[in-house]
Structure 1
Amino acid sequence: MGVFQTVMKKKELIPLVLIMTFAAGGASSFALYSLRKTDVILDRKRNPEPWEAVDPTEPQKLLTINQQWKPIEELQKVRRATK
């Protein structure tokens, strides 16, 4: 018997199936959202220093409150000297 046939025979399972489907969909979409972020490294061979590509003006968290960014002058000097 298939899942659909079982659910149609036992109507009390419909809310459970809907809740589980919604939860699985939400978990999958959040996992895909997290993989798109720049702080997640999937391939270290192509980009050994991925932190160089992070845009400091773009928030890296799901919710950011009062984020202010100022460049650190000493770090900028070191970055210019090593390139």
Structure 2
Amino acid sequence: MSMLGTVAKQLKNHPALIPLFIFIGGGTTMSILYLGRLALRNPDVCWDRTNNPEPWNKMEANQQYKLFTINTDYSKLKKDRPDF
């Protein structure tokens, strides 16, 4: 009997475990998606050091890269660092 068949048999005998599997699966999915977003969208991560060695220096002052911010309007921020 396969592992999936064993789990299905247990869920038929104990239906109270179904929400546990749903929440664990949902949490795992959300954490994998967030880690993927961090790896692909975060300016601190650089996958190609030869063509783009310091991508964080190319960000404008009004660019938002956080997932969410509270009481911050990025369109009104001024650039506080010199141009490169």
Smaller-chain TM-score range? 0.5 to 0.7
Q: Does 1:14 align with 2:22?
A: no
- Listed as ranges, the gaps of 5+ residues in structure 1 are none
- Residue in 2 aligned with 1:71? 79
TM-score for both structures, normalised by structure 2: 0.67
Mark the CA change 1:40 to 1:51 in structure 2 (over 3 Å): closer, same or farther: same
What is the deviation of 1:28? Answer: 0.6
Rounded Cα–Cα distance in structure 1 between residues aligned with 2:62 and 2:3: 48
Q: After TM superposition, which residue ranges in structure 1, 4 or more long, deviate above 6 angstroms?
A: none
* 2:43–2:55 CA contact under 8 A, matched in 1: yes
Q: Structure 2 matches for 1:3-42, cutoff 5 A?
A: 3-11=3-11, 12=14, 13-35=17-39, 36-42=41-47
Instruction: For residues 33-52 of structure 1, give each alpha carbon's deviation from its aligned partner in whole angstroms, at most 9, with x where no partner exists.
Output: 11222232233222112123
* Aligned twin of 2:54: 49
Q: Give the alignment's TM-score, normalised by structure 1.
A: 0.67
Give unmatched runs, 5+ long, in structure 2. Answer: none
Q: How many residues of Structure 1 are paired with residues of Structure 2 in the alignment?
A: 76
Q: Is the 8 A contact 1:41 1:50 kept in 2?
A: yes
